[in-house]
Amino acid sequence: MAQTENNMPRHIAIIMDGNGRWAKKRGLPRTAGHSAGGEAFRNIANYCRTLGVEYLTVYAFSTENWKRSEEEVSGIMKLLGKYLEEALRDMEKNHVRFRFFGDLSRLSPQLQKLCLDAQSRSSQYDEVQVNFCLNYGGRDEIIRGIRQFAQDVAAGKKSPNDLNEEEFSRYLDSAGVPDPELVIRPSGERRISNFLTWQTVYSEFVFMDVLWPDFGPEHLDAAIAEYQKRNRRFGGA
Ligand code: FPP
Protein backbone atom coordinates (compact mmCIF):
# COMPACT_ATOMS: atom_id res chain seq x y z
CA MET A 1 0.00 0.00 0.00
CA ALA A 2 1.23 3.50 -0.83
CA GLN A 3 2.86 5.23 2.13
CA THR A 4 4.32 8.61 2.76
CA GLU A 5 8.07 8.90 3.33
CA ASN A 6 7.73 9.21 7.10
CA ASN A 7 5.24 6.33 7.18
CA MET A 8 2.45 8.68 8.21
CA PRO A 9 -0.94 7.43 7.00
CA ARG A 10 -2.30 9.65 4.23
CA HIS A 11 -5.87 8.81 5.17
CA ILE A 12 -7.25 8.13 8.66
CA ALA A 13 -10.86 7.09 9.24
CA ILE A 14 -12.54 7.27 12.65
CA ILE A 15 -15.75 5.83 14.08
CA MET A 16 -16.60 8.48 16.67
CA ASP A 17 -18.13 6.15 19.23
CA GLY A 18 -18.88 6.39 22.95
CA ASN A 19 -20.60 9.77 23.22
CA GLY A 20 -23.67 8.30 24.91
CA ARG A 21 -21.66 6.40 27.53
CA TRP A 22 -19.52 9.46 28.19
CA ALA A 23 -22.68 11.47 28.94
CA LYS A 24 -24.26 8.71 31.03
CA LYS A 25 -21.18 8.44 33.23
CA ARG A 26 -21.65 12.13 34.03
CA GLY A 27 -25.41 12.01 34.48
CA LEU A 28 -25.86 14.20 31.39
CA PRO A 29 -28.27 13.85 28.44
CA ARG A 30 -26.90 11.96 25.42
CA THR A 31 -26.89 15.16 23.40
CA ALA A 32 -24.29 16.59 25.78
CA GLY A 33 -22.10 13.60 24.83
CA HIS A 34 -22.52 14.39 21.13
CA SER A 35 -21.70 18.00 21.79
CA ALA A 36 -18.48 16.99 23.57
CA GLY A 37 -17.85 14.57 20.67
CA GLY A 38 -18.13 17.48 18.27
CA GLU A 39 -15.42 19.32 20.22
CA ALA A 40 -13.18 16.25 20.12
CA PHE A 41 -13.69 16.09 16.36
CA ARG A 42 -12.73 19.74 15.90
CA ASN A 43 -9.57 19.22 17.89
CA ILE A 44 -8.59 16.07 15.96
CA ALA A 45 -9.29 17.64 12.56
CA ASN A 46 -6.92 20.49 13.45
CA TYR A 47 -4.35 18.09 14.74
CA CYS A 48 -4.51 16.04 11.53
CA ARG A 49 -3.78 19.20 9.62
CA THR A 50 -0.67 19.91 11.69
CA LEU A 51 0.48 16.30 11.25
CA GLY A 52 0.11 16.54 7.48
CA VAL A 53 -2.57 13.84 7.26
CA GLU A 54 -4.26 14.42 3.90
CA TYR A 55 -7.68 12.86 4.52
CA LEU A 56 -9.74 12.39 7.68
CA THR A 57 -13.01 10.51 7.32
CA VAL A 58 -15.42 10.55 10.25
CA TYR A 59 -18.60 8.56 10.83
CA ALA A 60 -20.94 11.29 12.06
CA PHE A 61 -24.35 9.72 11.34
CA SER A 62 -25.07 6.24 10.02
CA THR A 63 -28.05 4.91 8.08
CA GLU A 64 -28.86 3.02 11.32
CA ASN A 65 -28.80 6.11 13.52
CA TRP A 66 -32.31 7.16 12.41
CA LYS A 67 -33.59 4.47 14.80
CA ARG A 68 -32.55 6.57 17.79
CA SER A 69 -35.06 8.78 19.58
CA GLU A 70 -36.33 11.77 17.70
CA GLU A 71 -34.84 14.00 20.35
CA GLU A 72 -31.37 12.50 19.92
CA VAL A 73 -31.53 12.56 16.10
CA SER A 74 -32.61 16.19 16.03
CA GLY A 75 -29.93 17.04 18.61
CA ILE A 76 -27.20 15.54 16.37
CA MET A 77 -28.62 17.27 13.27
CA LYS A 78 -28.66 20.60 15.11
CA LEU A 79 -25.04 20.11 16.17
CA LEU A 80 -23.99 19.29 12.63
CA GLY A 81 -25.78 22.36 11.31
CA LYS A 82 -24.11 24.55 13.90
CA TYR A 83 -20.72 23.06 13.16
CA LEU A 84 -21.10 23.60 9.41
CA GLU A 85 -22.25 27.19 9.88
CA GLU A 86 -19.15 27.84 11.98
CA ALA A 87 -16.95 26.01 9.50
CA LEU A 88 -18.29 28.22 6.70
CA ARG A 89 -17.69 31.32 8.80
CA ASP A 90 -14.13 30.32 9.80
CA MET A 91 -13.16 28.73 6.50
CA GLU A 92 -10.41 31.19 5.66
CA LYS A 93 -8.74 30.55 8.99
CA ASN A 94 -8.99 26.75 9.08
CA HIS A 95 -8.39 25.81 5.45
CA VAL A 96 -10.25 22.50 5.77
CA ARG A 97 -11.62 21.03 2.54
CA PHE A 98 -14.97 19.28 3.04
CA ARG A 99 -16.55 16.30 1.32
CA PHE A 100 -19.69 14.45 2.34
CA PHE A 101 -20.20 10.72 2.03
CA GLY A 102 -23.69 9.26 2.34
CA ASP A 103 -27.18 9.77 0.97
CA LEU A 104 -27.74 13.43 1.78
CA SER A 105 -31.24 13.44 0.26
CA ARG A 106 -32.75 12.36 3.58
CA LEU A 107 -31.31 15.32 5.45
CA SER A 108 -33.26 18.56 5.89
CA PRO A 109 -33.01 21.00 2.96
CA GLN A 110 -31.15 23.46 5.22
CA LEU A 111 -28.54 20.88 6.20
CA GLN A 112 -28.17 19.72 2.59
CA LYS A 113 -27.52 23.30 1.56
CA LEU A 114 -24.90 23.76 4.29
CA CYS A 115 -23.16 20.58 3.09
CA LEU A 116 -23.16 21.72 -0.54
CA ASP A 117 -21.93 25.21 0.40
CA ALA A 118 -19.18 23.82 2.63
CA GLN A 119 -18.09 21.44 -0.13
CA SER A 120 -18.02 24.01 -2.92
CA ARG A 121 -16.61 26.91 -0.91
CA SER A 122 -13.76 24.83 0.55
CA SER A 123 -12.72 23.03 -2.64
CA GLN A 124 -9.74 25.39 -3.09
CA TYR A 125 -7.98 24.34 0.14
CA ASP A 126 -5.29 21.69 0.02
CA GLU A 127 -4.20 21.07 3.61
CA VAL A 128 -6.55 18.42 4.97
CA GLN A 129 -9.76 17.02 3.52
CA VAL A 130 -12.46 16.04 5.99
CA ASN A 131 -14.94 13.51 4.66
CA PHE A 132 -18.09 13.67 6.75
CA CYS A 133 -20.17 10.50 6.63
CA LEU A 134 -23.81 11.58 7.01
CA ASN A 135 -26.70 9.17 6.57
CA TYR A 136 -23.91 6.86 5.49
CA GLY A 137 -23.77 3.08 5.33
CA GLY A 138 -21.12 1.09 3.47
CA ARG A 139 -23.69 -1.27 1.97
CA ASP A 140 -25.96 1.62 1.04
CA GLU A 141 -23.04 3.34 -0.69
CA ILE A 142 -22.33 0.20 -2.73
CA ILE A 143 -26.01 -0.22 -3.67
CA ARG A 144 -26.24 3.43 -4.75
CA GLY A 145 -23.09 2.92 -6.83
CA ILE A 146 -24.50 -0.21 -8.49
CA ARG A 147 -27.75 1.58 -9.22
CA GLN A 148 -25.90 4.47 -10.87
CA PHE A 149 -23.75 2.12 -12.92
CA ALA A 150 -26.86 0.17 -14.05
CA GLN A 151 -28.47 3.46 -15.07
CA ASP A 152 -25.38 4.34 -17.11
CA VAL A 153 -25.58 0.93 -18.79
CA ALA A 154 -29.29 1.42 -19.52
CA ALA A 155 -28.51 4.85 -20.98
CA GLY A 156 -25.85 3.31 -23.24
CA LYS A 157 -23.00 5.20 -21.54
CA LYS A 158 -21.38 2.06 -20.13
CA SER A 159 -21.22 -1.62 -20.95
CA PRO A 160 -21.29 -4.35 -18.25
CA ASN A 161 -17.78 -5.32 -19.35
CA ASP A 162 -16.48 -1.89 -18.35
CA LEU A 163 -16.97 -2.78 -14.72
CA ASN A 164 -13.86 -3.55 -12.70
CA GLU A 165 -12.65 -2.45 -9.25
CA GLU A 166 -11.13 0.80 -10.44
CA GLU A 167 -14.18 1.72 -12.50
CA PHE A 168 -16.59 0.85 -9.69
CA SER A 169 -14.62 3.01 -7.21
CA ARG A 170 -15.62 6.01 -9.31
CA TYR A 171 -19.28 5.31 -8.51
CA LEU A 172 -18.73 5.50 -4.76
CA ASP A 173 -19.04 8.54 -2.49
CA SER A 174 -15.28 8.26 -1.98
CA ALA A 175 -14.47 8.64 -5.71
CA GLY A 176 -10.96 10.06 -6.06
CA VAL A 177 -10.05 9.57 -2.38
CA PRO A 178 -7.36 6.96 -1.59
CA ASP A 179 -8.45 4.13 0.72
CA PRO A 180 -7.71 4.71 4.43
CA GLU A 181 -4.54 3.04 5.68
CA LEU A 182 -5.74 3.35 9.29
CA VAL A 183 -9.21 2.98 10.83
CA ILE A 184 -9.64 3.89 14.50
CA ARG A 185 -12.58 2.89 16.67
CA PRO A 186 -12.56 4.21 20.21
CA SER A 187 -14.97 3.22 23.01
CA GLY A 188 -14.04 -0.46 23.33
CA GLU A 189 -16.32 -1.77 20.55
CA ARG A 190 -14.52 -3.99 18.08
CA ARG A 191 -16.77 -3.91 15.03
CA ILE A 192 -16.70 -2.07 11.72
CA SER A 193 -20.46 -1.32 11.75
CA ASN A 194 -21.07 -0.72 8.03
CA PHE A 195 -18.28 1.87 7.79
CA LEU A 196 -16.34 2.19 4.51
CA THR A 197 -17.11 -1.41 3.54
CA TRP A 198 -15.48 -1.20 0.10
CA GLN A 199 -12.57 1.01 1.11
CA THR A 200 -11.21 -0.81 4.18
CA VAL A 201 -10.27 -4.20 2.74
CA TYR A 202 -6.54 -3.53 3.34
CA SER A 203 -6.79 -1.05 6.23
CA GLU A 204 -5.15 -1.51 9.61
CA PHE A 205 -7.69 -1.35 12.44
CA VAL A 206 -6.85 0.12 15.83
CA PHE A 207 -9.45 -0.33 18.56
CA MET A 208 -9.07 1.80 21.67
CA ASP A 209 -10.88 1.86 25.01
CA VAL A 210 -11.15 5.64 25.34
CA LEU A 211 -14.61 7.17 24.77
CA TRP A 212 -14.72 9.55 21.78
CA PRO A 213 -15.30 12.81 23.74
CA ASP A 214 -12.09 12.04 25.68
CA PHE A 215 -10.13 11.28 22.51
CA GLY A 216 -7.29 13.77 22.07
CA PRO A 217 -4.09 14.22 20.07
CA GLU A 218 -2.27 11.81 22.40
CA HIS A 219 -4.70 9.03 21.41
CA LEU A 220 -4.24 9.78 17.73
CA ASP A 221 -0.46 9.67 18.25
CA ALA A 222 -0.81 6.27 19.95
CA ALA A 223 -2.97 4.89 17.13
CA ILE A 224 -0.53 6.14 14.49
CA ALA A 225 2.40 4.63 16.44
CA GLU A 226 0.57 1.29 16.53
CA TYR A 227 -0.04 1.52 12.77
CA GLN A 228 3.63 2.34 12.12
CA LYS A 229 4.76 -0.58 14.28
CA ARG A 230 2.58 -2.98 12.33
CA ASN A 231 3.84 -1.64 9.05
CA ARG A 232 7.46 -2.05 10.09
CA ARG A 233 6.71 -5.63 11.06
CA PHE A 234 4.93 -6.54 7.84
CA GLY A 235 6.59 -4.14 5.44
CA GLY A 236 10.05 -5.68 5.60
CA ALA A 237 11.62 -2.25 6.17
C1 FPP B 1 -21.67 7.44 18.48
O2 FPP B 1 -21.74 7.48 19.88
C3 FPP B 1 -21.81 8.75 17.92
C4 FPP B 1 -22.79 9.16 17.07
C5 FPP B 1 -23.88 8.29 16.60
C6 FPP B 1 -22.87 10.53 16.60
C7 FPP B 1 -21.55 11.13 16.25
C8 FPP B 1 -21.75 12.56 16.28
C9 FPP B 1 -20.87 13.44 16.77
C10 FPP B 1 -19.53 13.15 17.30
C11 FPP B 1 -21.27 14.83 16.79
C12 FPP B 1 -21.17 15.32 15.40
C13 FPP B 1 -20.86 16.67 15.38
C14 FPP B 1 -19.80 17.15 14.79
C15 FPP B 1 -19.69 18.59 14.76
C16 FPP B 1 -18.72 16.33 14.17
P17 FPP B 1 -22.92 6.74 20.60
O18 FPP B 1 -24.02 7.70 20.80
O19 FPP B 1 -23.27 5.50 19.84
O20 FPP B 1 -22.28 6.37 21.97
P21 FPP B 1 -22.63 5.10 22.87
O22 FPP B 1 -22.20 3.90 22.08
O23 FPP B 1 -21.81 5.34 24.09
O24 FPP B 1 -24.11 5.15 23.14
| Domains of the chain with bracketed CATH | 11-137+179-229 (3.40.1180.10)
Question: What is the predicted pLDDT for the residue at 104?
Answer: 98
Catalytic residue list contains 17: yes
* Alpha carbon distances (Å) from 24 to 33, 150, 185, 202: 8, 46, 19, 35
Helices (H) and strands (E) in the chain, counts: 8, 6
Question: What is the predicted pLDDT for the residue at 42?
Answer: 97
Question: What is the predicted pLDDT for the residue at 125?
Answer: 96
Question: What is the predicted pLDDT for the residue at 232?
Answer: 60
Of 15, 24, 34, 111, the residue with max ligand 1 atoms within 8 A of its CB, to mutate for a pocket test, comes to 34
> pLDDT per residue over 157-190, tens digit each?
999 999 999 999 999 999 999 999 999 999 999 9
| Ligand 1 geometric centre to CA of 226 (Å) | 24
The tens-digit pLDDT sequence of the chain (237 residues) is 444 557 999 999 999 999 999 999 999 999 999 999 999 999 999 999 999 999 999 999 999 999 999 999 999 999 999 999 999 999 999 999 999 999 999 999 999 999 999 999 999 999 999 999 999 999 999 999 999 999 999 999 999 999 999 999 999 999 999 999 999 999 999 999 999 999 999 999 999 999 999 999 999 999 999 999 996 655 555
Helices (H), the chain: 19-25, 30-51, 70-89, 91-94, 109-121, 138-154, 165-169, 217-235
Of the candidates 10, 94, 19, 120, which has an alpha carbon nearest to the alpha carbon of residue 56?
Answer: 10
